[in-house]
């Protein structure tokens, strides 16, 4: 995965911008994840430069996902990193979930492989049933 650190950096930045706002906790999380991936305490200058040069509008999620489609099981690790960035602002919205799903699809993952990282949607009648069970109604 280390050989793909540029692409992974862009994917993580894309996750941070998915909800149209970049939070400080998100950039802190991205830096920590990338430092761990790189095996260093400080990020290389080229990676830091990507933070400044990244354009969410120009980012091609399909092309980035395709570049990592051959990583095998590491594709799920990349998705876990994306999910960690999305969760770092203590709020997951539909745009972030949609981003994660698009990325997973672009990397060639089936929904069953990443379902536990995605937001689970329920029908209204399912929610009513869950509430009834929880509240003993």
CATH assignment at residue 18: 1.10.3680.10
For the residues 92-96, what does the mean pLDDT come to? Answer: 80
Give how far Cα 74 sits from Cα of 31, 133, 134, Å. 19, 39, 38
How would residue 132 be classed by pLDDT, with cut points 50, 70 and 90? low
Q: Evaluate the CA torsion angle 103, 106, 107, 112 in order and state its sign.
A: positive
For the residues 49-57, what does the mean pLDDT come to? Answer: 94
Higher pLDDT, 115 or 132: 115
- C-alpha 84/C-alpha 38 separation (Å) is 17
- For the chain, give the mean pLDDT: 85
Residue 116, pLDDT > 80, answer no
Q: How many domains does the chain have?
A: 1
- C-alpha 80/C-alpha 24 separation (Å) is 19
For the residues 119-136, what does the mean pLDDT come to? Answer: 53
Q: Evaluate the CA torsion angle 53, 56, 58, 64 in order and state its sign.
A: positive
Residue 122, pLDDT > 50, answer no
Which domain range does residue 81 map to?
2-135
């Amino acid at each position: 995965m280390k050989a793909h650190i540029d692409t992974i950096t862009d994917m993580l930045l894309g996750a941070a911008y998915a909800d149209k706002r970049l939070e400080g906790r998100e950039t802190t999380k991205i830096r920590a994840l990338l430092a761990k991936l790189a095996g260093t305490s400080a990020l290389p200058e080229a990676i830091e430069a990507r933070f400044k040069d990244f354009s969410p509008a120009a980012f091609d999620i399909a092309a980035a996902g395709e570049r990592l489609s051959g990583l095998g099981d590491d594709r799920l690790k990349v998705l876990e990193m994306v999910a960690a960035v999305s969760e770092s602002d203590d709020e997951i919205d539909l745009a972030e979930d949609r981003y994660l799903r698009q990325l997973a699809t672009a990397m060639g993952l089936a929904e069953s492989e990443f379902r536990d990282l995605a937001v689970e949607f329920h029908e209204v009648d399912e929610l009513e049933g869950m509430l009834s069970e929880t509240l003993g109604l």
